[in-house]
A and B are shown apart, each in its own frame.
Chain A
Amino acid sequence: QKEVEQDPGPLSVPEGAIVSLNCTYSNSAFQYFMWYRQYSRKGPELLMYTYSSGNKEDGRFTAQVDKSSKYISLFIRDSQPSDSATYLCAYSGGSNYKLTFGKGTLLTVNP
């Protein structure tokens, strides 16, 4: 079983839609959960970061973590064309350096 599985997409939605992006993981040592956004020809940009189960909200973005099910989600409300990008989930665990990334979901929001 792969350490991280991310819905591959691509995902295409109309402007204003609610978007749900999902990842599952298998390593119980993962304690920290992140979502990165990557625009074309740019580096990944940290979007959300959390270490506890539950929801964390930041503007139109909500990160949801369910450690018992080893499942994380990113919800985007009132999606905008500027949200069009690849979204990467990432995890780390314990005291080590390592981030484990999902392969990314390409999202397109159509005006």
Chain B
Amino acid sequence: DADVTQTPRNRITKTGKRIMLECSQTKGHDRMYWYRQDPGLGLRLIYYSFDVKDINKGEISDGYSVSRQAQAKFSLSLESAIPNQTALYFCATSDPDRDHNQPQHFGDGTRLSIL
């Protein structure tokens, strides 16, 4: 079983709809992240959470919100979807070490299309 699981894997929806993407992890990591990936733009950070009570905006948070329901669960919502939010969305986790900044581990993504 995957350590970082994203649902759904694919979603097609219409402009103006509310959408929730879910992420769960079995790695026991405290830190969780949401990214979007667009051709030619690479991976961009939307939101991140260091623990259940700590949620922070990334570089492109406008139009998105998140909820950290538990250590293992981190959801991303698009309140009113628009076509330029069509992208690949990835959840990631990490386990920081005081001496080294541990790398992040990614799920397999959600392909979201907004018509």
Please tell me if A62 contacts chain B, counting CB pairs below 8 Å: no
- Given contacts A42-B109, A43-B109, whether A98 and B45 have CB atoms under 8 Å apart is yes
In the bound complex, residues from chain A placing their C-beta under 8 Å from that of B43 are 44, 88, 101
In the bound complex, residues from chain B placing their C-beta under 8 Å from that of A41 are 108-109, 111
Residue of B with least CB distance to A4: B42
Nearest CB of A to B50, in Å: 7
Q: A1–B5 Cα gap in the complex (Å)?
A: 36
Majority SS of interface residues in chain B? strand
Q: A99–B102 Cα gap in the complex (Å)?
A: 10
Question: How many of chain B's residues have a CB under 8 angstroms from any CB in A?
Answer: 25
Please tell me if B48 contacts chain A, counting CB pairs below 8 Å: yes
Q: Mark B3-40, 1 if CB is under 8 A from A, else 0.
A: 01000000000000000000000000001010000001
Please tell me if B74 contacts chain A, counting CB pairs below 8 Å: no
Residue of B with least CB distance to A39: B108
Q: Mark A62-93, 1 if CB is under 8 A from B, else 0.
A: 00000000000000000000000000101011
Question: How many of chain A's residues have a CB under 8 angstroms from any CB in B?
Answer: 26
Residue of B with least CB distance to A97: B48
Residue of B with least CB distance to A102: B42
Residues A103 and B109 in contact, CB atoms below 8 Å apart? no
Residues A34 and B100 in contact, CB atoms below 8 Å apart? no
- Given contacts A44-B90, A101-B42, whether A95 and B105 have CB atoms under 8 Å apart is no
In the bound complex, residues from chain A placing their C-beta under 8 Å from that of B90 are 43-44
Per a CB cutoff under 8 Å, which of A42, A99, A104 touches B104? Answer: A99
Q: A98–B90 Cα gap in the complex (Å)?
A: 15
Q: List 23 A-B contacts (CB under 8 A).
A: A32-B103, A34-B103, A36-B106, A41-B109, A41-B111, A42-B108, A42-B109, A43-B4, A43-B106, A44-B43, A51-B100, A88-B43, A90-B103, A92-B101, A96-B101, A97-B50, A97-B94, A99-B45, A99-B103, A99-B104, A103-B40, A103-B42, A104-B42
- Which B positions have Cβ atoms within 8 angstroms of A? 4, 31, 33, 40-43, 45, 48, 50, 56, 90, 92, 94, 96, 100-101, 103-109, 111
